[in-house]
């Protein structure tokens, strides 16, 4: 690296300086744009090829994933490194979220750990790869939009953009804080809303109405007893299948018998579980509760389904990544996680994917989010060794 080149720390500071709070949280459309334009300029100045890949199916929406590539030859395998460009909210942070305080070897700011640190490490590694004598793979780095809420960027990449590019990756490394150890399995999630219907009436005469809140109270207790508490399935890497009711709202005014009430349920699914079957099983429990009590009238809204990272799909890749890390003196220990990442989007499409990046998930989404600079610097070498591996 020449003296006047950006360091990985400089690059991370630049990335954090752009506010990229997820659009569903911030209300700002395509908040990643400023950072992606900056990464595009930097990559081009390093001689790397860039492309803007539209995320939305309709042209009026200008949001895009930024693709940065180094192509060795038409016949070389493609290896993809993914990093999401958005972050969670900056509200309530106790450090300046965008100005990057550096203290005692740590760099503070929103996204330092989740997951701009991974992104900075990957992109710096690609610059070094382009200069290296050993280049067995074509490398694509993709900065995707909107991971934290809807996964729109990763879904567009897998379902449309990859087909247009005309090549299929042999493997995807998803940069997320995993303490630089490969996460080879994680749970999926199903989230959905259920409403109970009632009949509105003046509260001076409740018998003229039917309370949707009373019906929901009965439904929640029965559902927790008949379904949530009976889940026993476990996975050796990702833990137990769990289900919980996590929000409730209903009624319109204190003097009206409520005609509706709504809850949101979150069910974590294990690798190997069939999400469609899980939904059917849950609906059967809900239907039987409603059948046993005619005062409960249920409406189920369409679910949000995010799939699992199944270790059966990435077995070979996981072993190769562990081998590379052990060769560098790192642990290489494979683990699973209860949370989700974009890796499942690739896995469910049959593309082997592993999650790997500097920083601990314990610092992700926190009010004083930070990343250890030594681990960040080490990640450049870690990603570079993967880029140089003969897959």
Binding-site ranges for Zn ion (CB under 5 A):
114-115, 176
The nearer residue to Zn ion, 154 or 270, going by C-beta atoms, is: 154
What's the full length of the chain, in residues? 391
Q: Give CA–CA dist 313/350, Å, rounded.
A: 7
Residue 176 CB, nearest approach to Zn ion (Å): 5
The nearer residue to Zn ion, 87 or 320, going by C-beta atoms, is: 87
Residue 180 CB, nearest approach to Zn ion (Å): 15
Q: In what order do the strands lie in the sheet with 106-108?
A: 102-103, 106-108, 370-372
The nearer residue to Zn ion, 81 or 129, going by C-beta atoms, is: 81
- What SS3 class is residue 321? helix
Q: Give CA–CA dist 266/246, Å, rounded.
A: 7
DSSP run (H or E) holding 191: strand 188-197
Q: Is the peptide bond before 115 cis (omega within 30 degrees of 0)?
A: yes
Residue 353 CB, nearest approach to Zn ion (Å): 14
The nearer residue to Zn ion, 177 or 271, going by C-beta atoms, is: 177
Both tokens of residue 94? 């106790």
Please enumerate, as own/partner, the contacts of 310-316 that have beta carbons within 8 Å and a separation of 24 or more.
Answer: 310/185, 310/271, 310/272, 310/344, 310/347, 311/184, 311/185, 311/237, 311/271, 311/336, 312/271, 312/272, 313/347, 313/350, 313/351, 313/352, 313/353, 314/171, 314/184, 314/347, 314/352, 314/353, 314/354, 316/352
Residue 40 CB, nearest approach to Zn ion (Å): 21
Residue 22 CB, nearest approach to Zn ion (Å): 10
The nearer residue to Zn ion, 115 or 161, going by C-beta atoms, is: 115
The nearer residue to Zn ion, 70 or 143, going by C-beta atoms, is: 143
Residue 292 CB, nearest approach to Zn ion (Å): 42
């Amino acid at each position: 690296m020449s003296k006047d080149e950006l360091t990985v720390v400089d690059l991370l500071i630049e990335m954090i300086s752009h506010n990229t709070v997820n659009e569903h949280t911030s209300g700002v459309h395509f908040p990643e744009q400023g950072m992606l334009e900056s990464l595009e300029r930097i990559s081009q100045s390093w001689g790397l090829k860039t492309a803007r890949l539209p995320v939305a199916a309709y042209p009026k929406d200008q949001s895009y994933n930024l693709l940065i590539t180094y192509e060795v030859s038409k016949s070389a395998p493609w290896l993809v490194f993914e990093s999401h460009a958005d972050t969670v909210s900056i509200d309530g942070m106790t450090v300046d979220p965008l100005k990057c305080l550096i203290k005692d070897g740590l760099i503070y700011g929103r996204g330092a750990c989740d997951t701009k640190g991974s992104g900075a490490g990957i992109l710096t590694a690609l610059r070094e790869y382009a200069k290296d004598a050993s280049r067995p793979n074509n490398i694509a780095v993709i900065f995707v939009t909107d991971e934290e809420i809807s996964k729109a960027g990763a879904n567009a990449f897998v379902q449309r953009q990859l087909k247009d590019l005309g090549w299929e990756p042999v493997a995807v490394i998803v940069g997320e804080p995993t303490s630089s150890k490969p996460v080879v399995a994680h749970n999926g999630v199903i989230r959905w809303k259920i409403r109970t219907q009632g009949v509105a009436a003046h509260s001076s005469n409740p018998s003229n109405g039917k309370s949707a809140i009373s019906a929901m109270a009965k439904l929640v207790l029965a559902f927790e007893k008949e379904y949530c508490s009976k889940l026993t399935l476990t996975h050796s890497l990702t833990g137990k299948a769990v289900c919980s009711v996590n929000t409730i709202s209903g009624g319109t005014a204190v003097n009206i018998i409520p005609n509706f009430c709504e809850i949101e349920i979150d069910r974590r699914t294990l690798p190997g579980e069939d999400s469609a079957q899980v939904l059917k099983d849950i609906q059967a429990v809900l239907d039987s509760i409603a059948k046993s009590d005619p005062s409960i009238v249920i409406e189920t809204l369409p679910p949000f389904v995010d799939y699992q990272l199944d270790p059966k799909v990435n077995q070979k890749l996981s072993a190769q990544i562990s081998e590379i890390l052990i060769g560098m003196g790192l642990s290489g220990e494979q683990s699973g996680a209860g949370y989700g990442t974009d890796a499942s989007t690739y896995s469910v499409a049959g593309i082997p994917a592993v999650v790997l990046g500097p920083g601990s998930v314990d610092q992700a989404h926190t009010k004083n989010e930070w990343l250890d600079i030594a681990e960040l610097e080490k990640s450049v070498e870690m990603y570079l060794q993967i880029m140089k591996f003969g897959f």
